[in-house]
Structure 1
Amino acid sequence: MADALAAEWHRRHQRLEELTKRKRPEAQVAIVEHVRGELVGLRGALGILLGGRVQDGTADFLGWTYYREWRARQEPQA
Structure 2
Amino acid sequence: MRMRRVVGWLGLAAHLAVGFWYAASGLVVPGWALAGLLVVWAVLLVRRRPALVPLAPLSAVLVWLAVVSAGGAWLGWTA
Normalised by the length of structure 1, the TM-score is: 0.40
Of Structure 1 and Structure 2, which has the larger fraction of its residues in helix?
2
Structure of greater relative contact order (alpha carbons < 8 Å, 6+ residues apart): 2
Normalised by the length of structure 2, the TM-score is: 0.39
